[in-house]
Amino acid sequence: MKLSDGVEWGIHCAMLLGSLEPGTTLSGKALAEFHGVPESYLLKHLKSLVAAGLLESVTGPRGGYRLAKPPSEISLLDIVEAIDGTQPAFRCTEIRQRGPCALEPSAYPRPCGINAAMLRAEDAYRAALRQETLAKVTAEFMARADPRLFALGGAWIERNVRRPKQ
């Protein structure tokens, strides 16, 4: 199974937004710059995350993006489904009913065993992603990251964060 680049980008952006002070935002341009990805492509994925209720989009000169929920309430599955959709990765086209040895449809009373196995595997994968929250992934990152990243990232955020007018 191959997830789109947007899933990786969305998770990283959500982690970064989760580190912001309440009420503050980062622009789409800043998020794209921070991650070294094309802004136009990233904005498409941020829009999907907003539509799914995971991010909020704030308009105006001090606007940008922020989390719509606490990181503990956002699962990796939420982000995957917001960006790549909810359709199963495997789609059975019933090729067992084609070709020179195919029989009439009534000869196949049971669902395709390959399809059933693939769907079980996908259910397990989705269940695992449902258990992985943004808060948990962020905590693991914070525990293992090179300390220099915190100084660099903190300084970058301070230069780029947008605070509401006082």
Q: Report the distance separating Cα 54 and Cα 13, nearest Å.
A: 11
Q: Are 22 and 69 in contact (CB under 8 A)?
A: no
Q: Report the distance separating Cα 30 and Cα 160, nearest Å.
A: 7
pLDDT at 1: 67
pLDDT at 161: 96
pLDDT at 2: 81
Residue 49 falls inside a structural domain: yes
Residue 106 falls inside a structural domain: no
Residue 38 falls inside a structural domain: yes
pLDDT in tens, 112-147: 999 999 999 999 999 999 999 999 999 999 999 999
Segment 147-155 long-range contacts (CB within 8 Å, at least 24 positions apart): 153/19
Residue 101 falls inside a structural domain: no
Question: For position 139, which CATH number holds?
Answer: 1.10.10.10
Number of domains forming the structure of the chain = 1
Ordered mean pLDDT values, 10 residues apiece, the chain (166 residues): 91 97 96 97 98 96 95 98 93 91 91 94 96 97 94 95 88
pLDDT at 68: 98
Neighbouring residues of 52: CB distance < 8 A, sequence distance ≥ 6: 78, 81, 82
Residue 57 falls inside a structural domain: yes
pLDDT at 12: 97
Residue 114 falls inside a structural domain: no
Host domain of residue 27: 5-86+134-160
pLDDT at 62: 86
Residue 111 falls inside a structural domain: no
Residue 91 falls inside a structural domain: no
